[in-house]
Amino acid sequence: MAKLFLGLDSSTQSLSAVIIDLDAGKVIYEKSLNFDQALPQFKTKNGVLPNRDPLVKHSSPLLWAAALDLLFAQMKKDKVALGKIIAISGSGQQHGSVYLTEKAAEALANLNPKKSLVENLDGIFSRKTSPIWMDSSTAKECAEIRKKLGGIKFTASRTGSDTFERFTGPQVRKFYKTEPKAYEKTTHIALVSSFMASILAGKIAPIDFGDGAGMNLMDIRKKNWNHDAVKATAPSLVKKLPTLAPSGHVVGPVSPYFVQKYGLNPEALATVWTGDNPASVIGLGLVKPGQVAISLGTSDTFFGTMAQAHTDENGEGHVFGSPTGDYMTLICFKNGSLAREKIRELYKISDWKKFGEHVASTPSGNNDGVLLPWFEAEIVPRTKPGIHRFDLDEKNVAANCRAIFEAQMLSMRLHSQWMQVAPEKIFVTGGASSNPQLLQVLADVMNCSVLRIEVSKSAALGAALQAAHGFLVHTGKSPKWDKLVASFTKPVPGSEIHPDKKAAKIYDQLLEKYASCESDVLEIV
Ligand code: XUL
């Protein structure tokens, strides 16, 4: 019998499902359900509830529950062999938090299949809405917690990251300060991931080491709740937090609700979920320390797997637990395609092919020209918007095309050094990864071969693989992650680009100039 595993990804705008047949090494089903379109009664826009304060971004936990019902109904309608699913895991948008009362455990244990999940769960929340990762209303709380923990370096070295406005701890602190009564009534605080896992398991599920690291509450090395961080956040908090566990760990059989309503096997296992980024790391095949992926999207993201928890003393990058038991880093550069598109517009370049031709027509190192392309306020390095040129003629179209991408890659190299990881190969994904001229610059700056991967729904795929891994461990096997992911995460054939050794030397030197330009500008602004 085919061994099927279901991975779900509850992201900002949608809930997705990926089902894999493990022995066949194939994805057999994929589906996504867009929240705004499928559930308009919740009145979200791009998955977010309207709010007068632009810094406040909340969503509704009942929306996520309703989406789970709808997606299972859709799978049933699509005649998916739900009875053959052996284990389910998932991933959630990171940092978002759900606040439950003492009624929650009982409601979860007694889900009535004659009613919807919304009807079953309405009334278990001490806070109707959930702050999500897009929220940036907790600057004050971040400063308060960071101060109590001894500053950026100590906060990062204990919890994996400096305090960030979207991280759960500062959000919990704000809730405690602004709604103390509702905070007191809260018996359980869940993440999006552990909330969804709790519904499937019919009991309060643990938080995993991947998503737990996005809270500013977990000790990144010991993988338990950090006493000082918890104390700095809110009173009586430790009682409200669930246990921590490895992702994919079996919570129990799925709730009878899903068996009776949708035909899941009563022996199917519900496992611990993780965050969408840790799940993507698996879905992209980064299961060995030293493996790195760069996603060239709206923002550019640098993901890497590492064996030791090195943290960033400047507090720009994050360290989370990886579902493999190693660590992963996430460094997010806000001015990704956003900035590349601005240059394209500015110089009236018709398309990306032409942009690539401009890059190829200029020499590596751009005759020492450097551009700092912060069209938007940047996260890494933290700075205000500003465009700065050094030895670079503003009127030279081709040189500016090369300069922006060289700067972005040099910045990635510079700001990922704290990881102490020398990648053997870099996997690239995202829109701009189809541009060979840009990939050559990437390979040369990093002095490393580059391979393209095209995985859609990498988080849900990672979650399905996590379900398979969790099941195998549960049944006494010792599955190897690299074997498990191999047939699901193959790079695009023939896409490997090797670094040009001469160009790589030029970039070793340009990196020094880039770093000094950056620090000069950061001192002034
Ligand atoms: C990561 C982060 C986002 C969300 C998106 O720190 O905030 O990537 O996980 O869902």
The C-alpha angle 118, 119, 124, rounded to 5 degrees, equals: 80
- Binned at pLDDT 50, 70 and 90, residue 431 comes out as confident
Gap between the Cα atoms of 324 and 285, Å rounded: 11
475, part of any domain: no
- Each residue's pLDDT tens digit, 253-268: 999 999 999 999 999 9
CA of 496 to the centre of ligand 1 (A): 29
pLDDT value at position 160?
98
Whether residues 205 and 233 share a domain: the answer is yes
Q: Choose one of 8, 59, 93 to mutate for the ligand 1 pocket test, by most ligand atoms within 8 angstroms of C-beta.
A: 93
Cα 124 from chain centre: 27
Q: What is the mean pLDDT of the chain?
A: 96
What is the four-CA torsion angle of 160, 165, 169, 171, rounded to 10 degrees? -160
274 and 289 co-located in one domain:
no
Indicate whether residue 186 lines ligand 1 (CB < 6 A): no
Residues 256 and 375 in one domain: no
Contact 8, 32 (CB under 8 A): no
Summary count for the chain: helices (H), strands (E): 20, 21
Q: How many domains does the chain have?
A: 2
The answer on pLDDT for 1 being more than 80 is no
Counting atoms of ligand 1 from 1, which one is nearest the CA of 164?
6
Q: Is 247 helix (H, G, I), strand (E, B) or coil?
A: coil
Do both 53 and 95 map to the same domain?
Answer: yes
Query: Quick one: how far is CA 55 from the chain centroid?
Result: 20
Q: HSE, CB side, 13 Å, CA atoms: give it for residue 163.
A: 28
Cβ-defined contacts of 497-502 (< 8 Å, 24+): 497/436, 497/439, 497/440, 497/442, 497/443, 497/449, 497/450, 497/451, 498/443, 498/449, 499/443, 499/444, 499/446, 499/447, 499/448, 499/449, 500/364, 500/440, 500/443, 500/444, 502/364
C-beta of 322 in contact with ligand 1 (< 6 A): no
pLDDT, position 398: 98
pTM: 0.94
Task: Write b or e for each residue in 477-488: b if 16 or more Cβ atoms lie within 10 A of its Cβ, otherwise e.
Answer: eebebeebbeeb
**pLDDT band of 20, cuts 50, 70, 90:** very high
Is residue 472 included in any domain, yes or no? Answer: no
Cα separation, 406 vs 331, in Å, equals 17
- Residue 133 alpha carbon to ligand 1 centre in Å: 6
- Residue 57 in contact with ligand 1 by CB distance below 6 A: no
Q: Which protein residue's CA is at the shortest distance from atom 7 of ligand 1?
A: 133
3-state SS, 182-235, equals HHHHCCEEEEHHHHHHHHHHCCCCCEEHHHHCCCCCECCCCCCECHHHHHHHCC
Residue among 13, 59, 277 whose CB has most ligand 1 atoms within 8 A, to mutate: 277
Domain boundary among 247, 279, 311: 279
Q: Helix, strand, coil proportions of the chain in percent (round to 5)?
A: 40, 20, 40
297 and 249 within one domain: no
- My answer on whether 162 and 114 are in the same domain is yes
How buried is residue 153: exposed, middle or buried, by Cβ count under 10 Å (0-12/13-18/19+)? middle
Q: Are 453 and 479 in contact (CB under 8 A)?
A: no
Q: Considering the domain boundaries, does residue 471 fall inside one?
A: no
CATH code at 18? 3.30.420.40
Cβ neighbours around 398 below 10 Å, total = 17
What is the best residue among 133, 215, 295 to mutate for testing ligand 1's pocket, by most ligand atoms within 8 Å of CB? 133
Query: How would residue 18 be classed by pLDDT, with cut points 50, 70 and 90?
Result: very high
- All residues at 6 or more sequence positions from 519 whose CB lies less than 8 Å from its CB, including other chains: none
Q: 133 CB less than 6 Å from ligand 1? A: yes
109 and 226 together in one domain: yes
CA of 276 to the centre of ligand 1 (A): 7
Domain, as residue range, for 122: 4-279
Q: Which residues contact 254 (CB under 8 A, 6 or more apart)?
A: 88, 200, 201, 202, 264, 266, 268, 269, 270
Is 425 in the same domain as 510? Answer: yes
The reply to whether 275 and 298 lie within a common domain is no
Least Cα distance to 504 among 451, 426, 445 occurs for 445
Q: Which amino acid is at 113?
A: P
> Residue 380, SS3?
coil
Q: If pLDDT is split at 50, 70 and 90, which confidence band does 107 have?
A: very high
State the pLDDT at residue 175.
98
- With the CA atoms of 344, 408, 161 and 431 taken in that order, what torsion angle do they form, in degrees rounded to the nearest 10? 50
CA 53 – CA 240 distance, rounded (Å): 28
Cβ neighbours of 122 (radius 10 Å): 14
With respect to residue 479, please indicate whether it lies within any of the assigned structural domains. no
Quick one: 104 and 42 in the same domain? yes
pLDDT for 135-162, tens place per residue?
A: 999 999 999 999 999 999 999 999 999 9
Residue 12 CB–ligand 1 contact under 6 Å = yes
Least confident piece of the model among 43-52, 75-84, 373-382: 373-382
Nearest CA to ligand 1 atom 1: 94
User: Does some domain include residue 93?
Assistant: yes
154: region left, alpha or beta (phi > 0 left; psi from -120 to 50 alpha): alpha
In a domain, 481, yes or no: no
Q: Is 323 a member of any domain?
A: yes
247 lines ligand 1 (CB under 6 A): no
Distance 404 CA to ligand 1 centre (A): 25
From residue 242, alpha-carbon distances to 3, 49, 93, 207, 216 in Å are: 31, 27, 18, 7, 15
- Nearest-atom index, ligand 1, CA of 166: 7
User: Do 522 and 392 have their domain in common?
Assistant: yes
**438 pLDDT more than 80:** yes
Looking at the predicted structure, is the pLDDT value of residue 525 above 80?
no
Identify whether residues 368 and 299 lie together within a single domain: yes
Domain stops at, among 238, 262, 279: 279
What is the predicted pLDDT for the residue at 298?
85
d(CA 159, CA 230): 11
**Cα 302 to averaged position of ligand 1 atoms, centre (Å):** 13
Four-residue CA torsion sign, 207, 211, 216, 218: positive
Residue finishing a domain among 227, 250, 279: 279
Residue 411 beta carbon below 6 angstroms from any ligand 1 atom: no
Our CA dihedral for 105, 109, 112, 118, rounded to 10 degrees, sits at: 40
Cα 463 from Cα 453, distance rounded (Å)? 18
> For residue 452, what are the β-bridge partners?
428
**Tokens in use for 158?**
């204990």
Supply the pLDDT for residue 409.
98
Higher pLDDT: 53 or 338? It is 53
- For the CA of 277, the closest atom of ligand 1 is 9
pLDDT at position 195: 99
Burial of 45 (0-12, 13-18, 19+ CB in 10 A): exposed
Residue 497 alpha carbon to ligand 1 centre in Å = 29
C-beta of 10 in contact with ligand 1 (< 6 A):
no
**Is 47 inside a domain boundary?**
yes
